[in-house]
A and B are shown apart, each in its own frame.
Chain A
Amino acid sequence: MSTDTVEPVAETLKMTGQAAVTAALFQAMEEDPKVLVFGEDVADREGGGVMGTTRGLSSRFGDLRVRSTPIAEQSIVGAAVGAAMAGYKPVAEIMLMNFITVAMDMIVNHAAKLRFMSGGQSQVPLVIRTLTGAGWQTAGQHSDHYEGWFAHTAGIKVVAPATPADYKGLLLAAIQDPDPVLFIENSRTLFVPGEVASDQGPIPLGKARLAREGSHISLITYSGMVANCMAAAVELEAAGISAEVIDLRTVSPWDKDAVLASAEKTGRAIVVHEAVRHFGPGGEIAATIQEALFRKMKAPVRRLGAPYSAVPFAKPLEDAFLVQPADIAEAAKALCAYE
Chain B
Amino acid sequence: MSQTLENRASPDAATQLDIFRRMLRIERNDEFTRTQIRRGRITAPYYSARGQEVIPATLSNLMTDDDVICTIYRGIHDMVAKGMPLRPLWAEICGRVDGTCKGKGGPMHLTHPETGVMVTTGIVGSSMPIANGFAWASLLDGSRRVTVAYFGDGASNIGAFHEALNLASVWKLPVVFVCSNNGFAEHTRYENATSVDFIAKRAIGYGMPGYTVDGNDPYDMYAHAHAAIERARAGEGPTLLECKTFRFMGHVFGDNDSYMTKEEKEAALAKDPLVLFRQHLLETGAATEAQLEEMKATIEAEVQDAIDFAFESGYASADELRRDVFAEEIPA
Contact = CB atoms under 8 A, between A and B. Distances in A.
A65 B139 CA distance: 10
A83 B126 contact: no
B57 to A, nearest CB: 24
Contact of A64 (B129, B140, B170): B140
Contact of B133 (A70, A83, A120): A83
Contacts of A179: 326-327
Contacts of B160: 74-75, 78, 105
Interface stretch (B3-11, B35-43, B104-112, B283-291): B104-112
B185 interface: no
A109 B109 contact: no
Contact of A105 (B118, B123, B164, B324): B123
A118 B101 contact: yes
B118 to A, nearest CB: 6
Nearest to B97: A119
B326 A85 contact: no
B126 A109 contact: yes
B134 A83 contact: yes
A313 interface: no
A72 interface: yes
A75 B132 contact: yes
Contact of B134 (A82, A109, A121): A82
A105 to B, nearest CB: 6
A70 B121 contact: no
A338 to B, nearest CB: 34
Give the interface size class of chain B: 35 or more
Interface string B123-161: 100101111111111111100000100000000000110
Given A121-B112, A154-B325, A85 B123 contact: no
Contacts of B137: 82-83, 86-88
Contacts of A10: none
B163 interface: yes
Contact of B327 (A70, A118, A178): A178
B136 to A, nearest CB: 5
A83 B131 CA distance: 9
A200 interface: no
B167 A82 contact: no
Contact of B167 (A69, A81, A117, A122): A69
A121 B130 CA distance: 16
B324 A119 contact: yes
Contact of B136 (A70, A74, A82, A119): A82
A78 B325 contact: no
A88 B167 contact: no
Given A75-B129, A110-B119, A65 B136 contact: no
B111 A78 contact: no
Interface in A117-168: 117-123, 154-155, 157
A65 B137 CA distance: 10
B209 interface: no
Given A72-B167, A117-B104, A122 B133 contact: no
Given A105-B123, A117-B101, A119-B105, A82 B325 contact: no
A78 B112 CA distance: 19
A79 B105 contact: no
Given A72-B167, A78-B133, A88-B140, 6 more contacts: A82-B130, A82-B147, A85-B130, A116-B104, A120-B324, A122-B119
Interface of B: 68, 70, 99-105, 109, 111-113, 118-119, 121-123, 126, 128-141, 147, 159-160, 163-164, 166-167, 170-171, 323-327
26 contacts: A64-B140, A67-B171, A72-B163, A75-B160, A75-B164, A77-B129, A78-B163, A82-B131, A82-B135, A83-B140, A84-B133, A85-B118, A85-B119, A85-B134, A86-B141, A88-B137, A102-B159, A105-B126, A106-B130, A109-B121, A109-B126, A117-B104, A117-B109, A122-B119, A154-B325, A179-B327
3 smallest beta-carbon distances between A and B, as pairs: A82-B133, A78-B129, A86-B137
